[in-house]
Amino acid sequence: MKPSPKNSPPPELEHLRTAIDSVDQDLLTLLNRRLGYAKQIGQLKARQGAPVLDAGREATVLRQILNHNPGPISDSALRHIFGEIMSVSREIQSPQLVTYLGPEATFTHMAAMNHFGHFANFTPQPSIREVFGEVERQAFHYGVVPVENSIEGSVNSTLDLFYDSEIKICAEIYFPICHGLLSTEAAADDIRVVYSHPHAFAQCGRWLRKHLPDARLVECGSTALAARRAAAESGAAAIASQEAAGIYNLSVLAVRIEDSPRNTTRFLVIGRDAPPVTGCDKTTIMFVTSHVPGALYRTLKPMADAGINMVKLESRPARHENWSYMFFADLEGHIDDPQVRQTVTAMDALSRFLKWLGSYPRAGGESKEQRP
């Protein structure tokens, strides 16, 4: 057998590349067939007046795919790939208008893209109140706002806005927060001032004290604004996402500088949809109890009696009455589950005020029956 020319790939490699080319053609055919079905579904939804985004259906499809994944592709990679496929499917049905707490390159922006895919139309807003307002006046289909961080706690302005708003929670997003030190300078030794959001400073405190003890820390309204300021000033840096570095032409001097590797923010998708039962859902309510001893215990007792798990309970001062408090509770289950509905109805009868804020698929949650 003659040896292959020095720069010629071996026959085995050529065979494998030919096989990949064939698979790619199959994938292309199947993807276009899938989009054809999605377009037909969009036409049916339009005739019925149904929303394009069906978060419950998408969560079910994704669970089925993950349950049948033999590997070697990871579940996280599958989530990303099929998230983008679903994004294209929604876009071919009708462009999705999404607004979020901006500016561009904030973690809220990245969480929104992670949830809706890169094919939705994204528009930033300067405040959480304006995100709520734009969705309420139906200028956008959905809004994305932060609600709590695993280190810094709840975003109170988001919770407070639900009192007067008729907007519902349509979905939740858990997004890992990874901070980097960004600058136009070549080395951290040249940094005299660091810009960032107060929460980012708190989340990177140990790293800053160790590596930049003499730098002046200046708070900004967002990590993206911090990146914009650092890009315009010599001797300056920003704590922000690595994605912000690309947008604002900054170098990444250090990565993963957050103190906790489990730093995660929970975001809410708000809109007018009412996602159906998926079997892996969460329900959020807010309520106000009477000013009598044991009132909170009595209001929560129907949950315990029904065996419903409460995954979160938080209090906030009521905005319309001094020394009165609103409670926010997340329950496992969907409002259309008879047991959950009966429980919430019983709690309503024991409260001065109760409001259902939405039932939606649990983020990244596979039901115990479906996942070992």
Q: Is residue 21 part of a domain?
A: no
Same domain, 146 and 247: no
Strands 264-271 and 168-176 turn out to be antiparallel
Q: Are residues 191 and 161 in the same domain?
A: no
Binned at pLDDT 50, 70 and 90, residue 316 comes out as: confident
Same domain for 111 and 228?
no
- Is the model's pLDDT at 7 over the cut of 60? yes
Q: Do 113 and 70 share a structural domain?
A: no
Q: Which residues pair with 172 in a beta bridge?
A: 268
Q: Do the domain assignments include residue 74?
A: yes
Specify if 1 maps to a domain: no
**Over 60: is that where the pLDDT of 189 sits?**
yes
Residue 24 lies inside a defined structural domain of this protein = no
Q: What is the mean pLDDT of the chain?
A: 88
- On whether both 281 and 365 belong to a single domain, the answer is yes
Q: Are residues 57 and 154 in the same domain?
A: no
Q: Can you tell me whether residue 325 is helix, strand or coil?
A: strand
258 and 358 share one domain = no
The H or E element spanning position 286 is strand 281-288
Query: Same domain, yes or no, for 202 and 343?
Result: no
User: For residue 103, is it within any domain?
Assistant: yes
Residues 88 and 32 sit within 8 Å (Cβ to Cβ)? no
> Any idea which residue has 């590349």 for tokens?
17
User: Of the candidates 314, 274, 353, 303, which has an alpha carbon nearest to the alpha carbon of residue 147?
Assistant: 314
**CATH number for the domain that contains residue 297:** 3.30.70.260
Peptide bond into 103 cis (omega under 30): yes
Question: Are both 157 and 269 inside the same structural domain?
Answer: yes
On the question of pLDDT at 9 being above 50, the answer is yes
106-124 confidence digits (pLDDT tens): 899 999 998 888 888 999 9
Within 165-219, residue ranges assigned H as helices are: 198-203, 205-211
Give the pLDDT band of residue 79 (cuts 50, 70, 90). confident
User: What radius of gyration do the chain's Cα atoms show?
Assistant: 24
Question: What's the domain range around 355?
Answer: 274-372
Q: How many domains does the chain have?
A: 4
% of the chain beyond a pLDDT of 70: 94
Domain identity same for 316 and 296 = yes
> How far is 23 from 31, CA to CA, in rounded Å?
12
Q: Does pLDDT of 43 surpass 70?
A: yes
Q: What's the whole-number mean pLDDT along residues 41-58?
A: 82
Q: For residue range 201-219, what is the model confidence (pLDDT) as tens digits?
A: 999 999 999 999 999 999 9
Most confident of 47-51, 108-112, 147-151: 108-112
In the predicted structure, residue 303 carries a pLDDT above the cut 50: yes
DSSP assigned state of 336? T
Global confidence as pTM: 0.79
DSSP state of 282: E
